[in-house]
Structures are given as C-alpha cells and as structure tokens.
Chain A
Amino acid sequence: MDIRPKVLITKIGFDGHDRGSRIVAAGLRDAGMEVIYTPPWQEIATVVKLATEEDVDVIGISSLATDHLIVPKLLAALRAAGSDDIAVIVGGIVPDEDERSLLDAGVARVFHPGASLAEIARCVRELAAAVRARRTVEQELP
C-alpha cells in the first residue's frame, strides 16, 4: 500500500543554520510528502507536542553545530509521552563517534553532508511505512 508520509522537519538547541532543513523540507514536499516545517530553536517539549498532535511518522532533526548532542533528550521525551513509535532521523554535521551513540540511543538514521534528496526521501518513505505498519498492528491488538 502506498502511503503519504507525514514528516516534521525541525531544529532543536541554539544553532540557526537552516539551509539544510529548508532544502530537505522543500525536497520532501516535492516528493509528495506532507511536511511540517518549523524555524530553528524549538524546545524539545514543543517538538514532542507538535509531533504527537500532528501524528507524524518521522521527525527530521537538522544539526549543523553540535545540537545533535541533545537528540537523546528528545528521544527520552518522546518515550515519556508515549510517542516513541515516531522514527527520528538526524542530518548535518555529525562526527562518527556521535553517530554511533545516536544510533545506540534509538535514532533511525544519520545523514551527512553530500546526502542526496532522493536518498533521504527513500529512507523517510521506508521508515514511515514501517511506523504505519507497527501502528496498525498495535491498533489491532486486543
């Protein structure tokens, strides 16, 4: 079944470089997805609330200046809100050591500079399909 993924593209922390998040948001929209985009500097609680209320499949965090270091806090907040079925991906300047800890903490995928929009769209599509499938199974459980 073809689904229309719903994605939140946002930035947490203090960095304001948004060329990447704007390009990815526009690219995913062009690829036919439903994209919610926010300006930089969102509070973690705001992201959780928005993602939950909008029932998104995937959250994409753009990090160009070490803000990825607080992504584990976002994952914990999603768990606390019972919204950890949402897949979280990160894109930007993420050193390898940090990528490993992010993946260990539950981030689905990390994209680095040079990643193509097609590659990101494919990944989001797959993640969204998996999220929807899991949600369907959960709903059918007694």
Chain B
Amino acid sequence: MNQAIDDHLLRVTDAEARWQREYAEQIGSDRQVVNRSGIAIQPLYTNRDWDSSRHDDAVGFPGQPPYTRGIYATMHRGRTWTQRQLIGLGTPDDFNARLRAVLAQGATAISLIPCNSVFRGFDMDQSHFELLGTCGTVVNSAEHMDRALAGVDLARTSCAMNDPSPFTLLAFLLAVANKRGVDWRSITGTSNQSDYLSHYVANHMFFRLALPGARRVLVDHVDFCMRHVPKWNPMSVVGQHMQQAGATPAEAMALTLSTAIQVAQDCIDRGLDPDAFLPRLTFFFDISLSFFEEIAKFRAGRRIWARIARERLGAKDPRSWRFKFHGQTSGVDLTRQQPLNNIARVTVQAMAGIFGALQSLHTDAYDEALSCPTDFGARIAIATQNILREEAHLTDVIDPLGGSFYVERLTDQMEDEILRVMKIVANAGGMYRAVESGLVPKMIGESARRFQQKVESGEQTVVGVNAYVADEDAGARQALARPDATAMRAHLEAFRAYKSQRSQAQVAAALAALARAANAPGDNVFAKVVEAAEAGCTHGEICETLRRELGFGHVPAFV
C-alpha cells in the first residue's frame, strides 16, 4: 500500500523534473513575464502552486461568502448581466429619440450621459456654444429632464445617470416624478459618478465641489435616498477612472475598496446603519486587455469586500457583503491605428469581465479612439455583447475558470497586492487623506508613466502602434454626426426664455434656502437641491450656489 503511494509520488516527481528539464532546454533564454500589477507570471501552474485544502475557505460556493465564485447562487446561468450602454448626445429631444429606439429593442435599463458643460457644473448659456451636446446631452432643468424622458415609465425603467455631486439630475428626475404622479419609492436606478474621490484624483471633469463639501453632500445624498427613494443606488464607487488614468489593476481595486471604506465610514459616522445603505452600494470598474489578471482582480476584490463589510463595517445582512459591479471595457487599450482591431480587443476585455462575474457591462465602440462613437460603432459594441451572451456558451457554467491552478494562485497574489496597496492608503490616514495629500494621484501618475515607457520601448506590444504597423487610413469611415446646430440654438433660446419666465421670487428663495443649508451642518443639502429643482432652478444655478458656499472643485497640477 505504502509502496504504491511512494511509487506514484516518485513518478510524479520524475515527471515534474522531466518537464522542468525539457522546458529549460527548449525555451532557450526565458523571458521574464510580469503582469500589469507587477506580479511575476510562471510558465506553468500545477497543484504545487495552489493548495486545494484552502478551497472551502478561499473559494467556496457562488452566493456564499467569501463570494470568490460570484455573489449569487445562479450567476449568469440564471440571469446574465445587464447590458447597459451609455447614451447621450445633443438636445433632450435627440436623447429621447435615441432612448425610445433602445427601449423598442427591448432594453429595460437606460443611461443618461450629460454634456461636459453639465459635468463641470454650468448651464448652456454659460458655455462655449461649439461644445454643447458634443459629448453628452444638455440637461439643465427639470423641464429638460421631462423632455429627455418623455414616454418613459419612470416606475418601471431603471435609470442610470452620470450625476456627480450635488446630484442635480436625480433632483430633476424626482421633480419630474412628482409632476407625473410617480411615487419616489418606485423609482430605481443609480447615481453613477457619485464618487468624488475618484474625480479628484483621476477623472477631474466630474469634480464640481471642493473636497470637504463634496464629502458632506455625498453623505446627505445617501441619507436622503435611504429615506425617500429607497430603491435608488445613491453611491457607485468608481475604480474605472483610476485605472484609465494609469493605476494598475491591483492599485485600481485597492483604491476603490479604500474609497468604499471611506464612504461607508462617513455614512456610519453620520448615524446610518450599514445594513441600510451597503446593499445599495455598487462598484464600477475598468476591464483591461490583461485577461487573467482582470479575472483575478474581480475574484480577489469580491473576497476582500465581503470581509471588510462584515468584519470592519459591522454589516450583518449578507446583501451588504455582496460586491455588485458594473464593468466597462478599457478605452485606453483601444488604438486609433487599424481601428477595426478594437473589436477584437473589446471582445477579450468583455470576456474577462464576464469570467470575472460582473453584474452589468458596457462594451466600448471600436471607434472610441477616433471620436465619440458613431451609430455603427455602437451597434457592433452591442452585437459583441449579444454574441458573447447567446452564441459563445460563456454563461453555461458558473465561474468556469475557478479551480484553475493559475487563476486561483493569481487570485491569491492579486489579493496580496491589493491588500498591500490598501495598507499604504490606510497608513496615510484613509482614502480621503491619501487623496488630499496627493499620495494617490502620484501613485497613479507613476504607474501611467511606467506603462507608457513599456509601450515606447516595445516591451508591451500594441498591435498597429508599435508592432504590425500597416499603412492604413484610420480615418476611412463615416463621419460622426455632430448635434444639429440649429436645434441646439433653438434649445438655447428656449432655455433663456424659460429662465426669464419663471417665478424669480420662488427661484431666489430656493437658492437662498440651499445656501443656508450648505452652512448649517445639521441640514441635508441634497433635500434642498431637490426643492430647488422643483422650484424651477437650473443646474448651473444650483451648482453655482454650492460652489460659492462650499468651494469650487479645483484640482492641483499633479505633475
């Protein structure tokens, strides 16, 4: 008996030694492989690299802590991810036409991307006319929102809106709901771009209010939604910007989890029950081309969050432990050269997100490195999701890469790396302090430069850019339709007329009440934003009032 086991072990040891010998002989000088997060990657993983006795604790089953294999028991076999493509261009009427087309194709969830002028906190009459509606829809008032959502059943359609602090778009939506007699308690959706910390360090265009004010208004917003719009997800923690700005996948996950801890702690300090708001917390991540690394990033992130929510934040409800996330394929990985190649890139990125067990997905259009996507590009992006979901048999098995020696080992290593970065942030006093001090922006900037050096040196191949370069006209494709200038001018004139015809006394009173709330720490600023929206105040007026009282969202020069 023992002799048989010994023989077997000897054979296995022999086989391993033989493989090592043959590998060394045949490979010649082996290249060093290191993933984007800096983890050295071996040529082969075996059962020596991952101790399967840890299976039950570290991996477990879907829908059960630590959720490594997914946050629901049925995962994509039961319900596939939500296909949530971003829309936003032109006037509210342009948006509405596009929206109705999407809804007619069977979509049940919508998204609204406002114009960059809106992101920066200005109305259309305070903006360069040339820029209006070129990157999103110009929505400046409740009346605009009403037109943008004409014909949409607010009680049955989930609305995701890119709506940074002070959350005027949600305020406009709530005003529209009141006007239409829709109960706020039936309204579902998400305040995307609610994460001011990621805006300060990475995608600054959403950073409207100075850090302390942004911090307070976010908690006011969460508090208000918990009480009055309970099915709304008031907070989406964003790792996407930080990874797009250059953070490695492990850094992006670590910084996002650190942000979630900061926001949750701020809410708890306000007296909110973690089990009341954590089930409504969602995450938003970038999915790069580093396929296995991204899958391991998501598996590790789920595991860490389950532990944090339970042990550190004291949440008792399992719904609070679930790491729900939306993924967007990485635009930075796309190239302007040979743009159709991007369809292949987006497919691989999307697969990494699917195997990473995401809850909702945006696939980039292949032409995003050339301009805002054309209709044609957007259609291929949607078709890519449909093919992956319904033709490729990716959803037949839950966490199909679980148990792979490589994926399990890499998940452990990514977890270690994520925890290492989280510790740096914790030692700096938490995410708020680490952001304010410049530590986080510096970390991201250095990683961005390291990656750029790898591309320029040729260490990281980018097909069509530093390898396989072809003489091809990247611009050979149909031109992008810009918003119709006549329609935009009419929209602007109508807005000016609207402003002059309102009850100015009502507007002034609402803005004065908003300013008072901003200076009274016990008041809820977002409640006053909603009242201002109902009183006919515009987005620019609300932002301007809060900029004056709470400080403008400037960012230092992080170079």
Chain A interfacial positions (CB closer than 8 Å to B): 13-19, 22-23, 25-27, 29, 37-41, 65-67, 69-70, 73, 93, 95-97, 112-114, 116-118
Contact = CB atoms under 8 A, between A and B. Distances in A.
B301 to A, nearest CB: 22
Contacts of B480: 95
B134 A17 contact: no
Contacts of A37: 557, 559
B91 interface: no
Interface string B105-145: 00000000000110110100001101100110000000000
Contacts of A93: 368-371
A95 B205 contact: no
B277 interface: no
Nearest to A13: B131
Given A113-B369, A114-B335, A14 B131 contact: yes
Given A26-B559, A39-B557, A95-B371, A112 B128 contact: no
Given A14-B122, A16-B203, A39-B558, 6 more contacts: A14-B116, A40-B555, A66-B116, A95-B475, A113-B335, A118-B456
Contact of B131 (A22, A39, A66): A66
A67 B525 CA distance: 32
A26 B246 CA distance: 14
Q: Which 4 A-B pairs have the closest CB atoms?
A: A16-B205, A96-B475, A16-B204, A14-B116
A17 B206 CA distance: 10
Given A37-B559, A95-B370, A19 B120 contact: no
B479 A13 contact: no
B462 interface: yes
B382 interface: no
B462 A19 contact: no
A65 B116 contact: yes
A68 B122 CA distance: 19
Given A39-B557, A114-B335, A23 B120 contact: no
Contacts of B10: none
A97 B482 CA distance: 12
B130 A39 contact: no
Given A14-B127, A22-B558, A95-B475, A116 B456 contact: yes
Contacts of A29: 559
Given A65-B135, A95-B371, A22 B128 contact: no
**Highest count of chain A CB atoms <10 Å: which of B206, B474, B559:** B559
B452 interface: yes
A22 B558 CA distance: 7
A137 to B, nearest CB: 34
A111 to B, nearest CB: 10
B117 A14 contact: yes
B402 interface: no
B556 interface: yes
A19 B245 contact: yes
A114 B134 contact: no
Contacts of A73: 128, 130
A36 B117 CA distance: 26
A116 B456 CA distance: 7
8 contacts: A14-B120, A16-B119, A40-B555, A66-B134, A93-B371, A113-B334, A117-B452, A117-B456
Nearest to B122: A14
B545 to A, nearest CB: 19
Contacts of A27: 452
Interface string B457-474: 000001011000000001
Nearest to A21: B559
Contact of A95 (B207, B449, B479): B479
A70 B207 contact: no
Contact of A112 (B116, B120, B207, B336): B336
B492 interface: no
